[in-house]
Amino acid sequence: MIVLGPDPNDEELFEVIKTAAVSCLSKSTDAEELASTIRRVCNGEYPINNSLIVRPKVAEHVLKQFQDIISMGKTMEIMTAPLTHRETQILNYIAEGNSNKQIARILGISEQTIKNHASAILRKLNANDRAHAVLLAIRHGWISAEQKPMRGIPVKV
């Protein structure tokens, strides 16, 4: 979910859509609307689609980008949103076989945060599961199958 100013212009909204956000809220969104949006996202909805309905120029821009990509001969398989540095880091830990709990301990963040990142990775890569995400990332060169193990936390003795 992305939060924008009170009245984002079409270009700002288009940039949000390119990041694979599932929703876009105003900074003035109240708690009830925020909770409702979170519930909708958890149920698999993409509330950002509502923004496209009321902003035809943005929808037109999105469609034009798809047409441009298709005309350049690119396939839908390689169309993915870029992973953040943290998502790439977490995907490397996943590739090494670490659980969410282990990754959370290694990075010193909550297990729920790891789950959120893992969900974002799957969505951005359009992957069916963690193994599929790792395969896609290796195929595209975003992570290396030859990297040194990152397991464990160095312990001072």
- The full DSSP string for 47-97 is THHHHHHH-HHHHHHHHHHHHHHHHTT--GGG--PPPPHHHHHHHHHHHTT
Domains of the chain in start order, with CATH, are: 2-77 (no CATH), 85-139 (1.10.10.10)
25 contacts 33 by C-beta, under 8 angstroms: yes
Residue pLDDT, tens place only, 126-145: 888 999 999 888 888 888 87
Low-confidence spans in the chain with pLDDT less than 50 = 74-77, 149, 151-157
pLDDT at 53: 59
Amino acid at 55: R
Greatest alpha-carbon span in the chain? 62
Using alpha carbons only, give the angle 9, 10, 13 rounded to the nearest 5 degrees: 90
pTM over 0.75: no
Closest of 92, 78, 86, 84 to residue 127, by C-alpha: 78
